[in-house]
Structure 1
């Protein structure tokens, strides 16, 4: 199938989607970020602090104090403006950093675990498996292009 035919098929799919009455909402009604300047400023300060400290023991009250909010208020604020909890956000940062280190360095999985902010290898392995769908060592092999058997 040539390029023009693929484009035509793609446009037909878009037309079908546009005309369809069947759909499923992908975000909750509570997820409606504020885009006013004060909210953006607060989110920027919070995100900068999180990114600067996610490899350390960072907790919600720490970040809440950075933006002068109570813990509960900041928790609701963060979820409303990111669509995810503080903990999920930090875990994603840690796992993302671990993926980069696994694919680009020869550090051991244990060293990477501690470097990205985990204090327990079992918790790191569980979180990694839950977010990535494979163990850190299997991920490393796959990221480096080595053949990985399904039961590795």
Structure 2
């Protein structure tokens, strides 16, 4: 399967691009690590697949709305809700609305 064919089918099934999915999964993993470990922000970034800490901070801020350091300092009740998604759910909802 070519890269462009994979991208087309992935986007159709998941409702987002492959790279967007990878970013969401990495940030979700980082949030779990920040919530459950005492690892440094740098270690969390590396364990989440980021080699460049400036990029990790920028991507985390864009996805969560606060920096990793600020996120860790928040009480659990103050933390932004995780963006829940399910593979294919968005694509199925879109497909059913276009067929109605």
Normalising by structure 2, we get a TM-score of 0.74
Q: C-alpha root-mean-square deviation of aligned residues, in Å?
A: 1.5
1:103 aligns to 2:35 (yes or no):
yes
Q: How far apart in 2 are the matches of 1:92 and 1:73? A: 22
- 2:23: which partner in 1? 91
Give unmatched runs, 5+ long, in structure 1: 1-68, 147-152
- 2:11: which partner in 1? 79
Q: Of the candidates 113, 138, 144, which is equivalent to residue 45 of structure 2? A: 113
Structure of greater relative contact order (alpha carbons < 8 Å, 6+ residues apart): 2
Q: How far apart in 1 are the matches of 2:69 and 2:75? A: 10
Partner SS state of residue 39, structure 2:
coil
Output one character per residue of 1:126-145: Cα deviation in whole Å (capped at 9) or x when no partner: 00000000000110111457
Q: Within 5 Å, give how 1:1-152 maps onto structure 2.
A: 69-143=1-75
Displacement after TM superposition at 1:112 (Å): 0.7
Moved over 2 A (4+): 143-146
Asked which structure has the greater CA Rg, the reply is: 1
Normalising by structure 1, we get a TM-score of 0.49
Alignment length (residue pairs): 78
CA contact (8 A) 1:103 1:143 kept: no
Q: How far apart in 2 are the matches of 1:108 and 1:117? A: 14
Give unmatched runs, 5+ long, in structure 2: 79-100
